[in-house]
């Protein structure tokens, strides 16, 4: 009971349904903050229950090109927060401008310049993250909420809001190559671009916008850097807790709710409203489960075919927010090549690290996770063809704008670039006949993120062989 974490969370009462999820979060925090290997609170006979992803990732990424270590980043964040707290100007009232003194002085000017163009599609979130000292998620989300006047409108307490955003950013695992706070910041920036599209801008309410931005910022909160099939086959407690269904997305949602309650960000709103908000946040985050994409896509197509989307209807607006968040989440292939390429390398590295863990523990290697048999290019081409293109084609039907055309244009070019690089590699590697990789790529692209198809390891097809070993 004397544990600081217990005290930290102990003052807040939660309803019983959320209790377990919050308890899990506490365990997660213990692992991060105490720096000792964690002791799983429930043991089963399965030997892999004890895998501590964080430790494994840390070991595996030793010697790799990780920018700055986690403790280092944490110190920066702490400094920024204190600087913020000491700023009397901010505490006196709602600032009309962005609190740029939260940024390191050397970079303030450049970061400010970037924020002026936060609505442009070629916004370089990697550069912005460097200029903000690793605080891109906090800085960007805070800026957008202020810019929309949502802080004033919903009478959000600035200190609570800041604290909430800092905790969100910290609860992303900075040692994940891909699913970290920079990805969340990138998705939030993309979401903002979509919210500004005429179809949405003219019909969304302030409430929709607040919800959309908070959902984007929190949609991968606490991501462990491995996928659902991995959690299921290792009997991870999250898989048990969420009954092998949208395990990660449920975890992200419940983690977000935990932080909302802990910081009391919406505690001044009527209980019914804040509960509604939490529920809708969940429905947005759960929509990012890529294994359910076809459900959402069929419904989207049906609405577009029948031309019956009516954005004065709250449930239709909510559906469009779900689609916008889904697009924002997987928009990497639609960014300019220099940005898109970096994301592709990061996501592949995360897949490959999972594959390394699977090999090390003699587990079946998941589709697309074997670094010996896959390449960034073949994974990207499969992902674009079977997952991203169908989604963005429908989105362009719904919102036929310059941005939609730009996104489809970049995706086409990026796909061609990966194709070119693949060909180069193939011809370099040897004079082997053309790869048969394409055939099973759809299965692999979907299965990579789809628990139901690979959980048992029985139904999954062979992963595509991008490079053959002769
Ligand atoms: Zn995501």
Confidence at 416, pLDDT banded by 50, 70, 90? very high
d(CA 109, CA 131): 9
Kindly tell me if the per-residue pLDDT of 450 is higher than 50: no
Homologous superfamily in CATH for domain 6-451: 3'5'-cyclic nucleotide phosphodiesterase, catalytic domain (1.10.1300.10)
Predicted confidence (pLDDT) per residue in 257-285, tens digit: 999 999 999 999 999 999 999 999 999 99
Tell me the mean pLDDT in the region 438-453: 49
pLDDT of residue 77: 46
Within 40-157, residue ranges assigned H as helices are 53-60, 70-85, 88-92, 105-116, 125-131, 136-147, 150-153
Residue 95 CA to ligand 1 center (angstroms) comes to 31
Binding residues: 179-183, 219-220, 329, 380
Predicted confidence (pLDDT) per residue in 204-233, tens digit: 999 999 999 999 999 999 999 999 999 999
Kindly tell me if the per-residue pLDDT of 376 is higher than 50: yes
pLDDT of residue 443: 56
pLDDT of residue 14: 35
SS3 per-residue string spanning 360-402: HCCCCCCCCCCCCCCCHHHHHHHHHHHHHHHHHHHHHHHCCCH
Q: Which of 49-63, 335-349, 432-446 has the lowest mean pLDDT?
A: 49-63
Mean pLDDT (the chain) is 79
Q: Retrieve residue 38's tokens.
A: 């964690």
d(CA 214, CA 355): 32
Binding residues for AMP: 179-183, 220, 329, 380
Residue 394 CA to ligand 1 center (angstroms) comes to 20
d(CA 378, CA 177): 19
Binding residues for Zn(2+): 183, 219-220, 329
User: What residues act catalytically?
Assistant: 179
Local structure of 177: helix, strand or coil: coil
Q: Which of 101-110, 127-136, 244-253 has the lowest mean pLDDT?
A: 101-110
Close Cβ partners of 4 (under 8 Å, ≥ 6 residues apart): none
d(CA 110, CA 101): 13
**Position with higher pLDDT, 35 vs 315:** 315
Kindly tell me if the per-residue pLDDT of 409 is higher than 60: yes
Task: Give phi and psi for 163, each to the nearest 5.
Answer: -65, -45
Kindly tell me if the per-residue pLDDT of 52 is higher than 60: no
d(CA 116, CA 158): 21
Q: Retrieve residue 31's tokens.
A: 């692992």
Task: Give phi and psi for 435, each to the nearest 5.
Answer: -65, 150
Kindly tell me if the per-residue pLDDT of 96 is higher than 60: no
pLDDT of residue 291: 95
Q: Retrieve residue 106's tokens.
A: 């050397």
Kindly tell me if the per-residue pLDDT of 166 is higher than 90: yes
Tell me the mean pLDDT in the region 339-343: 98
Residue 183 CA to ligand 1 center (angstroms) comes to 7
Q: How many C-beta atoms surround the C-beta of residue 214 within 10 A?
A: 26
Tell me the mean pLDDT in the region 129-137: 95
Write down the pTM of the prediction.
0.75
Long-range CB pairs of 160-164 (<8 Å, 24+ gap) are 160/263, 160/264, 160/265, 161/265, 162/81, 162/84, 162/138, 163/81, 163/263, 164/259, 164/260, 164/263, 164/265
Percent of the chain whose predicted confidence (pLDDT) is above 90: 66
Residue 173 CA to ligand 1 center (angstroms) comes to 13
Residue 94 CA to ligand 1 center (angstroms) comes to 31
Kindly tell me if the per-residue pLDDT of 51 is higher than 60: no
Kindly tell me if the per-residue pLDDT of 21 is higher than 70: no
DSSP state of 102: G
Q: Which of 374-388, 426-440, 452-466 has the lowest mean pLDDT?
A: 452-466
CA 29 vs CA 44, 114, 159, 161, 169: distances in Å: 22, 33, 22, 20, 13
**CB contact at 8 A, 145 and 161:** yes
Helix/strand number for the chain, H first, E second? 25, 0
Q: Which residues surround ligand 1, an ion (CB under 5 A)?
A: 220, 329
Tell me the mean pLDDT in the region 324-342: 98
Predicted confidence (pLDDT) per residue in 82-94, tens digit: 444 444 334 334 4
Residue 321 CA to ligand 1 center (angstroms) comes to 15
Within 178-246, residue ranges assigned H as helices are 181-195, 198-201, 206-218, 228-233, 237-241
pLDDT of residue 238: 96
């Amino acid at each position: 009971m004397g544990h600081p974490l217990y005290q930290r969370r102990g003052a807040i009462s939660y309803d019983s349904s959320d209790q377990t999820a919050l308890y899990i979060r506490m365990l997660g925090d213990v692992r991060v903050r105490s720096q000792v290997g964690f002791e799983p609170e429930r043991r089963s006979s399965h030997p892999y229950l004890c895998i501590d992803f964080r430790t494994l990732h840390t070991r595996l990424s030793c010697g790799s090109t990780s920018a700055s270590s986690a403790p280092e980043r944490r110190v920066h964040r702490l400094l920024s927060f204190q600087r913020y707290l000491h700023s009397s100007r901010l505490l006196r009232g709602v600032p009309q401008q962005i609190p740029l003194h939260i940024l390191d002085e050397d970079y303030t000017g450049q970061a400010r310049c970037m924020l002026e163009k936060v609505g442009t599609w070629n916004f370089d979130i990697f550069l912005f993250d460097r200029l903000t000292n690793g605080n891109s998620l906090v800085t960007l989300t805070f800026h957008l909420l202020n810019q929309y006047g949502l802080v004033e409108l919903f009478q959000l307490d600035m200190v609570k809001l800041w604290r909430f955003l800092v905790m969100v950013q910290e609860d992303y695992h900075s040692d994940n190559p891909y699913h970290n706070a920079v990805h969340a910041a990138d998705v939030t920036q993309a979401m903002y671009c979509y919210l500004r599209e005429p179809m949405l801008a003219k019909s969304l309410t302030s409430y929709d916008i607040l919800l959309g931005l908070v959902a984007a910022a929190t949609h991968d909160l606490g991501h462990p850097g491995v996928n659902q099939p991995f959690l299921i086959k290792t009997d991870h407690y999250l898989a048990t807790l969420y009954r092998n269904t949208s395990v990660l997305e449920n975890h992200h949602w419940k983690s977000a709710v935990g932080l909302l309650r802990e910081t009391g960000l919406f505690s001044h709103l009527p209980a019914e409203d804040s509960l509604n908000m939490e529920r809708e946040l969940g429905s947005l985050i759960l929509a990012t489960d890529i294994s359910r994409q076809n459900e959402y896509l069929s419904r989207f197509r049906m609405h577009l075919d029948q031309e019956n989307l009516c954005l004065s209807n709250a449930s239709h607006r909510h559906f469009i927010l779900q689609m916008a968040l889904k697009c924002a989440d997987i928009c990497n292939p639609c960014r300019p090549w220099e940005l898109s390429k970096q994301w592709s390398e990061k996501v592949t590295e995360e897949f490959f690290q999972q594959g390394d863990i699977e090999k090390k523990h003699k587990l079946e290697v998941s589709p697309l996770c074997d670094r010996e048999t896959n390449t960034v290019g073949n994974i990207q081409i499969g992902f674009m063809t079977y997952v991203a293109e169908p989604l963005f084609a429908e989105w362009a039907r719904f919102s036929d704008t310059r941005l939609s055309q730009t996104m489809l244009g970049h995706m086409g070019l990026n796909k061609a670039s990966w194709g070119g690089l693949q060909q180069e590699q193939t011809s370099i590697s040897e004079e082997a006949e053309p790869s048969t990789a394409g055939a099973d790529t759809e299965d692999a692209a979907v299965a990579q993120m789809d628990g139901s198809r690979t959980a048992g390891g029985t139904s999954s097809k062979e992963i595509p062989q991008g490079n053959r070993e002769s």
